[in-house]
Chain A
């Protein structure tokens, strides 16, 4: 098994809002323990508003108000040492970004500067990270990179609006991989793309991961995409990870009732049998239910579920699940 590259301990990040003197706390990430390994694709799945994107921001060390770190730690493994990123100075964090860890934000099709050509964006980017190179050398690096990823060279000469959504998305992913980072975080990279284009984007991400042998943290609510690329999957619900296992285990042997609903609600070709959605509606993170946050929607809820959040049980090796049903009775 590969070594750990990113680790969190009881990570808590809340949005603290002050609306006309009333304090409102949104518990977006509430006690997350992750251990992400080298050379793997780690998928995070969950419905919208469960805190997936906030978790990524915290992993990236981008905690800006109103988001606040309430507790816990995030460690990166750099040169054999665990580094607590919240103890670093801002300029040290800046130095890690793009070179050690890079981030493809949600809706990244719109992050490219619309008034300059894509190649200028590449230049801005390289100039601030690679010292002592002439303009021509920088363009050579950019060209080489684009060619290696199998994108047409014409994109460098284009303005962002001349490219289709899928192409823009692939350009931003290419940009994120430019400095060969050890970790790439991708937030919903295929949402709002057509199926065929989506496949092209996934193909690119997979290709980069295989070439660099690095780690990709992929957030998407599309379980089909997760099944296709992720090696391990964490299921997130109301700011917590409720189940974590290999992709094969999650799809073949889901244990948490929420995961089971998620998997069983997916329509499949060749099977027109009835599919049910998860009952009820997603909880509000400003006022999450007591105990296990899934208990109001869970058909198997016991008394204890309403009172206490269960710890992780490991009924199968490397398959962790936070549900009282799995514990010793």
Chain B
């Protein structure tokens, strides 16, 4: 099976506190996954689960403490920037923060073209920009000579995607791309990922906490909790019949847009975040309804159940 991007045993440790009272937090703890060509892979989890840290390591903003990242068969070496970012482009969370409000939007396009030497002259550059903007449902005429404040959140996010497409990337790393976009315009961005995958064969690493759009758009999903992937597999399996108790809690906590299905069960909320990080054994043991003796002592390994990898003692053959 061909793998476009492979992440193996990735670990990132942050230290908190002063010199004397150090706390070491494993924000990403031995995470491995891969993305196939023309596939949308979702990393889902709550804030503080390490999903953004993984994106930052893949994009080279952060050095991993341990582990490797392989992109189309090549390991990341020191001098990676150019060949790496030509194949992997990023889309960030806040469309209003991505663009400088005092700078015309089109200048970001020309800058990328100059950095990667994508065009020889002005006409060629404009033709390229127009082509990419058409792919996201806009055009050069609509965008030229305008400032970011003249667009809606959804439009800016699509412009941001068009900018990323300039280098013909194989993989887009999208970190919470729709969480700041209005609910009424959200689907225009999400549908675009689907279209890019189908028409241009672009893979997407979709990082989100919104499981409903994750289900709608992605092929495979990994659920993260406090630095670990606890469940990974095809979305139809993971989100329709969740195995791990944490995935089940997440899935039940999504409000269905149907007044006939309201929550009736009460839930308990977490202790503070870092206490859960420092836990030995399974990090979810403090809140898990099916907790066993062994869960508090040792973190379980992966076990495969019907094509889904899950990290829970419940599924271990006894």
Contacts and interface: CB of A to CB of B under 8 A. Distances in A.
Interface string B230-269: 0000000001100000000111011111111011001101
B250 A200 contact: no
Contacts of B211: 195
Most buried by A among B155, B186, B188, B255: B255
B182 A221 contact: yes
Contact of B183 (A221, A227, A228, A276): A221
Nearest to B210: A195
A316 interface: no
B253 A199 contact: yes
B110 interface: no
B273 interface: yes
A282 B255 contact: no
B315 interface: no
Contacts of B119: none
A154 to B, nearest CB: 11
A229 B240 CA distance: 24
Nearest to A150: B266
A224 B255 CA distance: 5
Contacts of A196: 46, 249-250, 253, 267, 269-270
B191 interface: yes
Contacts of B249: 196
A197 B262 CA distance: 16
Contacts of B216: 267, 272, 275
B275 to A, nearest CB: 11
A263 B273 CA distance: 34
A258 B249 CA distance: 32
B186 A265 contact: yes
Contacts of A329: none
Nearest to A200: B269
A22 interface: no
Contacts of A113: none
Contacts of B46: 194-197
A47 B184 contact: yes
B269 A251 contact: no
Interface string A227-251: 1111000000000000000011001
Most buried by A among B46, B185, B269: B269
Contact of A194 (B47, B213, B215, B251): B47
Given A222-B255, A228-B263, A263-B257, A195 B209 contact: yes
Interface string A181-213: 000000000000011111110110000000000
Contacts of A270: 240
A278 B266 CA distance: 35
B263 A203 contact: yes
A266 B184 contact: no
Contacts of A221: 182-184
Most buried by B among A195, A262, A272, A276: A195
B154 A281 contact: yes
B187 interface: yes
Contacts of B259: 227-228, 230, 247-248, 251-252
Contacts of A1: none
A115 interface: no
Given A195-B211, A196-B46, A203-B263, 8 more contacts: A47-B182, A198-B255, A228-B256, A228-B262, A266-B183, A268-B212, A269-B212, A270-B240
Interface of B: 46-47, 151-155, 182-188, 190-191, 209, 211-213, 215-216, 239-240, 249-251, 253-260, 262-263, 266-267, 269-270, 272-273
Interface of A: 47-48, 164, 166-167, 194-200, 202-203, 221-225, 227-230, 247-248, 251-252, 261-263, 265-270, 272, 274-278, 281-282
